[in-house]
A and B are shown apart, each in its own frame.
Chain A
Amino acid sequence: MPINLGFLVAALQLGTTHKPEAILFWVLAPLVVLAALAMVFVKKAVHSALFLAWIMISLAIFFIAQQALFLGIVQIVVYTGAVMMLFLFILMLVGVDSSDSLKETIKGQKTAAILISVGIGGLFTSLIARATVAKPAVGLDTANVAGNVQGIATLLFTDYVWAFEVVSALLITAALGAMVLAHSQKNHQITQKELSALRFRQGDKSKAAGLPAPGIYALHNAVDVPGLLPDGSIATQSISKTLEARGEILSSDKFELQSNEEVED
Chain B
Amino acid sequence: MATLNAPHLDYWALSPILVLLAGALIAVLAEAFLPNSLRRTASSALSFGSLIIAFACVLKEQHKTTAHAAIGSVTIDRAGIFLQGTILVLAFLSMVFLVDKDQFVAQASALPGSNEERVSLKAGRFQSEVYSLALFSLSGALLFVVANDFITLFVALELLSLPLYLMVGLSRRRRLLSQEAALKYFLLGALASAIFLFGAALLYGYSGSLTLTGINSSITGSNNNSYLLILGIALVLIGLLFKTGTAPFHSWVPDVYQGAPTPITGFMASVVKVAGFGAFLRIFYVGFDLAVTSWKPLVIGAAVISMFVGAIGTVVQRDGKRILAYSSIAHSGFLILAIVSLTKVTLISTLFYLITYGVATIGIFGAMSLIRDSVGEVGDTNRWAGLSKKSPLLAGVISIFLLSFTGIPLTSGFVAKFNLFTAVFVTGNWWLVLAAVIASAIAAYAYLRIIVQIYLSTTPASSVTVSVPSIATRVTLAITALFTIVIGVAPSLLIDFSNTFQTFIR
Contact = CB atoms under 8 A, between A and B. Distances in A.
A and B bind: yes
Interface of A: 12, 124, 127-128, 130-135, 146, 150, 154, 157-163, 166-167, 169-170, 172-174, 176-177, 179-185, 187
A172 B28 CA distance: 9
Interface string B110-150: 10000010011001010101001100100110010000010
B1 A181 contact: no
Nearest to A184: B109
Given A159-B71, A181-B109, A185-B107, A131 B227 contact: yes
B70 interface: yes
Contacts of B129: 176, 179-180
A173 B136 contact: yes
Given A132-B228, A180-B127, 7 more contacts: A128-B227, A133-B228, A134-B226, A166-B143, A172-B25, A182-B109, A187-B123
Given A127-B227, A176-B132, A159 B72 contact: yes
A88 B166 CA distance: 22
Interface string B323-363: 00000000000000000000000000000000000000000
A59 B149 CA distance: 26
B491 interface: no
Given A135-B218, A179-B129, A187-B123, A173 B162 contact: yes
A93 B24 CA distance: 32
A105 B483 CA distance: 48
Nearest to B207: A134
Give the interface centre of B149, B205, B207, B227 by most chain A CB atoms within 10 Å.
B227
Interface stretch (B2-10, B392-400, B440-448, B451-459): B2-10
A185 B35 CA distance: 12
B4 A158 contact: yes
B426 interface: no
Contact of A154 (B2, B158, B218): B2
B206 A134 contact: yes
B166 A180 contact: yes
B73 interface: yes
B133 A134 contact: no
A90 to B, nearest CB: 13
A128 B228 CA distance: 6
B228 A131 contact: yes
B205 A161 contact: no
A182 B208 CA distance: 43
B116 A187 contact: yes
B162 A134 contact: no
Interface string B88-112: 0000000000000000000111100
A182 B132 CA distance: 17
A187 B119 contact: yes
Give the interface centre of A130, A134, A150, A181 by most chain B CB atoms within 10 Å.
A134
A41 B232 CA distance: 28
A172 B32 CA distance: 13
Contacts of A135: 207-208, 218
Contacts of B205: 133
Contacts of B136: 169, 172-173, 176
Interface string B144-170: 000001011001101100110110011
B220 interface: yes
Nearest to B71: A159
A158 B107 contact: no
A161 B136 CA distance: 19
A130 B228 CA distance: 8
A191 B226 CA distance: 71
Nearest to B158: A170
A89 B126 CA distance: 30
B151 A160 contact: yes
A183 B109 contact: yes
Nearest to A167: B155
B231 interface: yes
Contacts of A166: 17, 21, 139, 143, 152, 155-156, 159
B65 interface: no
30 contacts: A12-B228, A124-B231, A131-B206, A131-B227, A132-B226, A133-B205, A134-B208, A134-B226, A146-B1, A160-B151, A161-B70, A161-B71, A162-B74, A166-B17, A166-B152, A166-B155, A167-B155, A169-B139, A170-B159, A170-B162, A172-B28, A173-B133, A173-B162, A174-B162, A176-B132, A180-B127, A181-B109, A181-B169, A185-B125, A187-B120
Contacts of B271: none
B489 to A, nearest CB: 42
Interface in B223-277: 223, 226-231
Contacts of B120: 185, 187
B144 to A, nearest CB: 11
A185 B24 CA distance: 21
A163 B228 contact: no
A167 B155 CA distance: 7
Contact of B152 (A130, A163, A170, A181): A163
Contacts of B162: 170, 173-174, 177
B223 A134 contact: yes
Nearest to A130: B227
A132 B223 contact: yes
A169 B227 CA distance: 36
Given A132-B223, A183-B109, A162 B9 contact: yes
A158 B6 CA distance: 7
Nearest to B119: A187
B14 interface: yes
Contacts of A182: 109
A180 B155 contact: no
A131 B227 CA distance: 5
B226 A133 contact: yes
Contacts of A12: 228
Nearest to A159: B71
Contacts of A184: 107, 109-110, 116
Contact of B151 (A130, A132, A163, A169): A163
A177 B167 CA distance: 9
A137 B7 CA distance: 29
B216 to A, nearest CB: 11
Nearest to B198: A124
A176 B133 contact: yes
A182 B127 CA distance: 12
A157 B4 contact: yes
Across the A-B interface, give the 10 residue pairs with the lowest CB-CB distance, nearest first. A162-B70, A131-B228, A131-B227, A127-B227, A184-B109, A134-B218, A177-B166, A162-B73, A187-B119, A132-B226
Nearest to B219: A134
A190 to B, nearest CB: 12
